Structure 1
Amino acid sequence: MKKRYPSYKPSGIEWISDIPIHWSVKRLKRLAKICNGQDQKDVAVPAGAYPIIGTGGEFGRTNHFLHIGPSVILGRKGTIDKPQYIESGKRFWTVDTAYYTVINPTTSPRYFYYCCLTINFEMYKYGSAVPSMTQEVLNQIPFAIPPFSEQKLLANYLDQKTRHINQTIRKKQQLIELLHEEKTAFINHAVTKGIDAGAPMKPSGVEWLGDVPAHWEKRKLKYIVDKIDQLTTNTEFVIAVENIESHTGRLVFDDTQKNYQGQLYAFEEGDILFNKLRPYLAKVHLAEKDGSMSGELLILRPKTGFNNLFVYYRILSYDFIQEVNSSTEGTK
């Protein structure tokens, strides 16, 4: 599989470049027929025999089906960049925000699926608020296609490779989860017990806090931070709750520009942003520069004499998150 082919020819498609001389370029419509999904409301039942497939995967069951696999599900609206493969013989229903495909007998279903994974959906989509794809556009997308027997060989090769990669990813994810747990435990211990194992301890008087170093003081949060409610119209750098990664505080932005219709509040470098609506998500961010944020977050500014980073880690700690989450009154 790693050997280069003896000769190539221009594909005529800039982003495909040259292809093996015995391959051809075919539009999607020559490989499969695209069919519209249908609304599931009248057929959905709690424990149906067949899955209801949307652009994000299965989200319901039904006793009716639109097609029998193999098929590739393509997004029509919403999540358009996640093709899904339906195994041979599997009956399914597809919602009206997705397409299902009837794959030609001369096309390897798995090879067709891998081709669909290469589509540059950003280049073909329309609509900014809700990304969408039309059948007309999808039908004209070109692919490099080998003979049928070679399609099957390539699909088998990719199945083996992706299976191995997916196994590696799962192992790495398990390791990451363990490291997150270790990090959480380390932070929680450091901000409640300190790092001097030999330090004398005393009861904190707070059940969930337990013993603390004897020279530490107990303070309520309202004596440590100020809650900031300064309105602003500045949208140069805006953080919303979905931009804060749980447990890490890392900021995550996508390429979608959001129009913020509600009120915005100004924060400064060193302020702590805390998700007040769903504290169990542990979305806490220590601002590295000035900006503005939506009303789903609290702005907490450490008072003079308190280290911003220490306060941030204290608020991010497991015990603090659990205590706030169990309170019916939120953060005080």
Structure 2
Amino acid sequence: MTANGYPWLGKVPTSWKMGRLGTMCSILTDGTHQTPTYVDAGIPFLSIKDVSSGYIDFSDAKMIPLEEHTELRRHAPVQRGDILFTRIGTLGKFVTVDTDVEFSIFVSLGLLRLKNNVPVTKDYLMYYLNSSAVQSYIQSIKAGFGTAAPKYNLSDAAHTPVLIPPKETQEAITRHLDVICQPIDMCSKDIKRQVDALEQYRRSVIHEAVTKGLNPDAPMKDSGIPWIGEIPAGWDVVKGKYMFSQRSSRGNTHLELLSPTQKYGVIPQSLYEERTGAKTVKLKEDTDLQEFKTVHVGDYVISLRSFQGGFEYSDYEGVVSPVYQVFYPISNGPRGYYRYLFKTQPFIDEMNSYAMSLRDGKNIAFADFGRTRIPVPPLDEQHAIADYLDMKCADADKLIDAKREQLRTLAEYKKSLIYEYVTGKREVPA
């Protein structure tokens, strides 16, 4: 064993060589930088979420028209046997394209194709790239990137060092890892199914409560709203503009800067960094905060991506960028009910219908929401529904978090196990 000049690899066998990923790949590109048109039926358009499980998952992929796919394919012509890798935000997950289904990729994914007659097998290379050693190397690149979305750039991928054992050693390592990793993968897939089931249960509980109430025996009536269907007979239906008003106050430069997020709502930037470990985009020192919009506790924010995740609720006083739209409930009644309603998928789909013809951000205007009819339960029912959902969602989130921690533990164990073999620190048993 000898030190090789790459601390993240440690000592490696003296007979093993080093190469660069870029010299072994005939294609090294990324997906489209433009947001395409999404349709109900079309060609799959993959992003990070569709490969984050370690394999390509089409079940929740967005769809784009065939003509747009044809154009995008000229830039990134994906084919069976290629390798995709995540390169923005979530970094350095590598998956093999093991399907003949045509699809296009977003800019958050990179594409590479192994050349012929290179000194590594693809199976060994995939294990190597997904080892804790390479993950450590990629994280060292990320550490110097000061934005909310760290990148593993194409040039970074091209310069990634590859440890190259003799071919027969590569094949032995691959056969052995196939055997010992299979139980880990099976366990991970089972836990992932449990997480999916819990998340579906959480969504169904929310949807049932905010559209049907808590009394299963309540008489029902047609709401006249296609995405709602029937509602309790004692509920009203009102356009959003009669329930909420847009907030336009500015100039509160003494308030802290807030970040609208799909997962945490509207929270301070410092809290976002603490919860996610990511760095937010810092304002320039000469930024004029006079134009930033004021947000009060209980306000809602329409972000540039509300068509993906609904409207965000704020538990904090602060300011947000002028590109966001802020609105608040006109009445002083319970606010938690709408906090849940505005995050349901049918509501998001309804808001998305206003943005379908827009490009470059797909912004939703408050006026679009203002003419949308929404259910209005009596205030006491709103309060009861919010309390019920607070309890049920807290229980579900606790279980989901525990399952995800199990997945993280298994993933780290697998990466460390792979590391031992692809760096020669542990020999394959005879």
Under TM normalisation by the shorter chain, which class is it?
0.5 to 0.7
What are the residue-to-residue correspondences of 1:212-231 with 2, within 5 Å? Answer: 212=232, 214=234, 216=235, 219-231=238-250
CA 1:151–1:160 in 2, change beyond 3 Å: closer, same or farther? same
Instruction: List per-residue Cα deviations over 1:250-274 (Å, max 9, x = no partner).
Output: 9886735436799642323332234
Q: Say whether residues 1:272 and 2:300 are aligned partners.
A: yes
- Secondary structure at the counterpart of residue 81 of structure 1: strand
- Supply the RMSD in Å over aligned alpha carbons: 5.2
Q: Say whether residues 1:151 and 2:178 are aligned partners.
A: no
For the Cα contact (< 8 Å) 2:86–2:92, is it kept in 1?
Answer: yes
Instruction: Output the CA distance in 1 between the equivalents of 2:126 and 2:88.
Output: 19
Instruction: Output the CA distance in 2 between the equivalents of 1:26 and 1:86.
Output: 27
CA 1:297–1:244 in 2, change beyond 3 Å: closer, same or farther? farther
CA 1:39–1:330 in 2, change beyond 3 Å: closer, same or farther? closer
Displacement of 1:313: 1.5
Instruction: Output the CA distance in 2 between the equivalents of 1:26 and 1:305.
Output: 69
What are the residue-to-residue correspondences of 1:4-15 with 2, within 5 Å? Answer: 13-15=6-8
Q: Say whether residues 1:239 and 2:239 are aligned partners.
A: no
- Secondary structure at the counterpart of residue 258 of structure 1: coil
Structure 1 letter corresponding to 2:230: G
For the Cα contact (< 8 Å) 2:262–2:309, is it kept in 1?
Answer: no
For the Cα contact (< 8 Å) 1:73–1:101, is it kept in 2?
Answer: no
Instruction: Output the CA distance in 2 between the equivalents of 1:318 and 1:30.
Output: 41
Q: Say whether residues 1:121 and 2:149 are aligned partners.
A: no
Q: Say whether residues 1:316 and 2:354 are aligned partners.
A: no
Instruction: Output the CA distance in 2 between the equivalents of 1:70 and 1:203.
Output: 54
Instruction: Output the CA distance in 2 between the equivalents of 1:151 and 1:304.
Output: 68
Flag structure 1 segments of 5+ consecutive residues without an equivalent.
1-7, 41-53, 88-96
CA 1:102–1:293 in 2, change beyond 3 Å: closer, same or farther? same
Q: Say whether residues 1:255 and 2:278 are aligned partners.
A: yes
Q: Say whether residues 1:28 and 2:28 are aligned partners.
A: no
- Secondary structure at the counterpart of residue 15 of structure 1: coil
Q: What is the total number of aligned residue pairs between the two structures?
A: 292
Q: Say whether residues 1:81 and 2:92 are aligned partners.
A: yes
What are the residue-to-residue correspondences of 1:176-215 with 2, within 5 Å? Answer: 176-199=195-218, 201=219, 203=221, 206-207=224-225, 208-212=228-232, 214=234
Instruction: Output the CA distance in 2 between the equivalents of 1:225 and 1:133.
Output: 46
The structure with the greater share of residues assigned to helix is: 2
The equivalent position to 2:120 in structure 1, one of 101, 107, 132, is 107
Instruction: Output the CA distance in 1 between the equivalents of 2:201 and 2:181.
Output: 30
Task: Report 1 or 2 for greater relative contact order, CA contacts < 8 Å, sequence distance ≥ 6.
Answer: 2
Equivalent position of 1:17 in the other structure: 10
Equivalent position of 2:153 in the other structure: 132
CA 1:330–1:77 in 2, change beyond 3 Å: closer, same or farther? closer
Instruction: Output the CA distance in 2 between the equivalents of 1:205 and 1:136.
Output: 54
Instruction: Output the CA distance in 2 between the equivalents of 1:131 and 1:29.
Output: 15
Instruction: Output the CA distance in 1 between the equivalents of 2:262 and 2:30.
Output: 34
The equivalent position to 2:316 in structure 1, one of 289, 294, 306, is 289
Flag structure 2 segments of 5+ consecutive residues without an equivalent.
32-45, 57-68, 99-109, 356-366, 371-430
Equivalent position of 2:413 in the other structure: none
Instruction: Output the CA distance in 2 between the equivalents of 1:256 and 1:293.
Output: 17
Instruction: Output the CA distance in 1 between the equivalents of 2:316 and 2:128.
Output: 43
Instruction: Output the CA distance in 1 between the equivalents of 2:298 and 2:7.
Output: 48
CA 1:61–1:159 in 2, change beyond 3 Å: closer, same or farther? farther
Structure 1 letter corresponding to 2:7: E
CA 1:293–1:155 in 2, change beyond 3 Å: closer, same or farther? farther
Structure 2 letter corresponding to 1:273: V
Instruction: Output the CA distance in 2 between the equivalents of 1:30 and 1:311.
Output: 50
- After TM superposition, the score normalised by the length of structure 1 is 0.60
Displacement of 1:331: 0.7
Instruction: Output the CA distance in 2 between the equivalents of 1:309 and 1:168.
Output: 37
Equivalent position of 2:369 in the other structure: 331
For the Cα contact (< 8 Å) 1:55–1:79, is it kept in 2?
Answer: no
Instruction: Output the CA distance in 2 between the equivalents of 1:163 and 1:250.
Output: 41
Structure 2 letter corresponding to 1:244: Q
For the Cα contact (< 8 Å) 2:82–2:112, is it kept in 1?
Answer: no
CA 1:28–1:14 in 2, change beyond 3 Å: closer, same or farther? same
Displacement of 1:138: 1.6
For the Cα contact (< 8 Å) 1:10–1:18, is it kept in 2?
Answer: yes
Instruction: Output the CA distance in 1 between the equivalents of 2:347 and 2:245.
Output: 17
